[in-house]
Amino acid sequence: MSTNTTITAPTALFTSVDDVAAALRETGYIPSVATATAVFLADKLGKPLLVEGPAGVGKTELARACAQAREARFVRLQCYEGIDEARALYEWNHAKQILRIQSGGAGGDWDDTKQDVFSEEFLLPRPLLQAVRESGPSVLLIDEADKADLEFEGLLLEVLSDYAVTVPELGTITAVRKPLVFLTSNATRELSEALKRRCLYLHIDFPDAELELSIIRSRVPDLSVEVAQQLLRVISTLRGLDLKKKPSVSETLDWCRTLLALGVTGTANGSIDKAALRSTLGVVLKHQVDIETAAAALGL
């Protein structure tokens, strides 16, 4: 039985770059002009957007915010070493199939039983198939694609080229409406040129002080501007050090919330209390050697 259909003309989620920026800001995500432009073009052209950059700069959150901004279904495929077709596309509910066969299936006739147990009732769709089958607006996030094996990229190429999944027992399932697709990478390995050719590209780095302050004001509005600015000066110093793991934007926000919870305020000389900084370094630095390096550099 084939369920092959034809892809309709993609229906854009956003009407302009300004529309992307405004919609994302309403969710609390503060995009740069480059980010808003890349999202608009990916949406308008119906092409996947490959987003690279350090961990914690908002790559995953960008996809989630786009879905939230347009009330689209959010489908996430978390990649890891060894991920295979069964975890990404679909698999059969073998336990349920065995129970059906043991119960006599379709009157005991094997051909009828086989057709019965390889039907929709026993299919377990995984993220890629879920996104392909979605008839309404959807956002598909293929997260940390660089962690998957190189062979897995071949599977992604097939799906992202045709927006279709072939289930031998059922036929080819083709998207009625293309999802807006994001792939993220921390650049732990180089993705294939074949995959990159199919994508638009966006690099998100640590934001400048002005943009990061806007992010803090959006996500931690109760923190005073003075403390936020003082904390950003400390963060800038930390990112300039030779650390195993530099503080991400998400960790900056965690530090802001920590200082707010502790009732920490700026001092008269325009700096945050050193004891408070020293006792909370573990919020943003996750290696003891980094904490020691930071403490020495900050004079804590």
**What is the residue-level pLDDT of the chain in tens, covering all 300 positions?**
444 444 444 568 999 999 999 999 999 999 999 999 999 999 999 999 999 998 889 999 999 999 999 999 999 999 999 898 888 888 887 787 787 777 765 555 656 666 677 777 788 889 999 998 898 999 999 999 999 988 888 888 888 888 888 888 888 888 888 899 999 998 888 899 999 999 999 999 999 999 999 999 999 999 988 889 999 999 999 999 999 999 999 999 999 999 999 888 765 555 788 888 999 999 999 999 999 999 999 998
Neighbouring residues of 94: CB distance < 8 A, sequence distance ≥ 6? none
Q: Give Cα separations from 246 to 53, 216, 286 (angstroms).
A: 12, 18, 9
pTM for the whole thing?
A: 0.83
How many Å apart are CA 147 and CA 66, to the nearest integer?
23
Q: Is residue 51 a contact partner of residue 82, using CB atoms and an 8 Å limit?
A: no
Q: Three-class SS of residue 166?
A: strand
**Checking phi first, is residue 152 left (phi over 0); if not, alpha (psi -120 to 50) or beta?**
alpha
* Angle value at C-alpha 233, between 232 and 234, nearest 5 degrees: 90
Q: Give Cα separations from 284 to 32, 65, 226, 291 (angstroms).
A: 23, 23, 20, 9
The whole-angstrom distance between residue 187's C-alpha and the CA centroid of its chain comes to 14
B/e letters for 261-285, b = 16+ CB within 10 Å, e = fewer, are eeebebeeeeebeeebbeebbebbb
How many Å apart are CA 265 and CA 229, to the nearest integer?
12
* Angle value at C-alpha 16, between 209 and 70, nearest 5 degrees: 85
